[in-house]
């Protein structure tokens, strides 16, 4: 493994899933949660949205940058037929979102921004996720038990609905969790 110990790594994300993935990759880091608004221009192309949002998060904490600091910021969106499915506002919204992805393929796109004092590099990973048809009863069970209100697309791949509902994934499983770990590692080596 490349020695990243000389860097003060900051993860600009409150996602417990991203924090766990980065920890499991062997990184020592600290978390700074930004209060940057996750708003993007309406006409922005789908693949640019999560990259733009990751850059907004990274740029919100540039005051933390010193010579050996590395910021890792990420944002994940879920989309179906070029329509972004955000985090659900309430149970009804979660139900509507899960009904939309039931029996269909949707895309999970994570944008990542790596930022140091003298340079910045951004990239994205895309995964196609195929759900089997979910019954209303299954959707309601999942929402009631797991309360997926902090998750884009109203679900966590690592939770019950992922175990019983996902038929297959084209692309990175960890991207669907919120951080394309293999791609991140490769990009860090070249950064």
Known catalytic residues are 75
- Determine the Cα–Cα distance for residues 161 and 171; give it in Å rounded to an integer: 19
- Determine the Cα–Cα distance for residues 27 and 24; give it in Å rounded to an integer: 7
- Cβ neighbours of 122 (radius 10 Å): 18
Cα dihedral 177/183/31/147 (nearest 10): -10
132 Cβ neighbours under 8 A, 6+ residues apart = 102, 103, 165, 166, 167
89: phi then psi, degrees, rounded to nearest 5: -80, -30
Give the chain's length.
191
DSSP conformational letter for 157: T
Structure tokens at 60: 């919100």
């Amino acid at each position: 493994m490349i020695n990243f110990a000389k860097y003060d790594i900051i993860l600009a994300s409150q996602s417990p899933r991203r924090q766990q993935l980065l920890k499991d990759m062997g990184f020592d880091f600290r978390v700074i949660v930004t209060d940057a608004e996750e708003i993007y221009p309406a006409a922005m192309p789908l693949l640019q949205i999560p990259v733009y949002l990751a850059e907004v998060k990274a740029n919100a904490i540039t005051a933390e940058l010193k010579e050996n600091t590395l910021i890792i910021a990420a944002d994940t969106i879920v989309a179906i037929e070029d329509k972004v499915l955000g985090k659900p506002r309430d149970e009804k919204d979660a139900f509507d979102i899960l009904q939309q992805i039931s029996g269909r393929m949707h895309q999970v796109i994570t944008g990542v921004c790596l930022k140091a004092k003298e340079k910045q590099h951004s990239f994205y990973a895309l995964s196609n996720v195929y759900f089997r048809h979910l019954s209303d009863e299954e959707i309601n069970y999942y929402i009631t038990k797991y309360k997926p209100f902090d998750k884009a697309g109203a679900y966590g791949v690592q939770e019950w609905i992922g175990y019983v509902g996902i038929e297959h994934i084209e692309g990175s499983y960890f991207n669907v969790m919120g951080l394309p770990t293999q791609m991140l590692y490769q990009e860090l080596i070249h950064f």
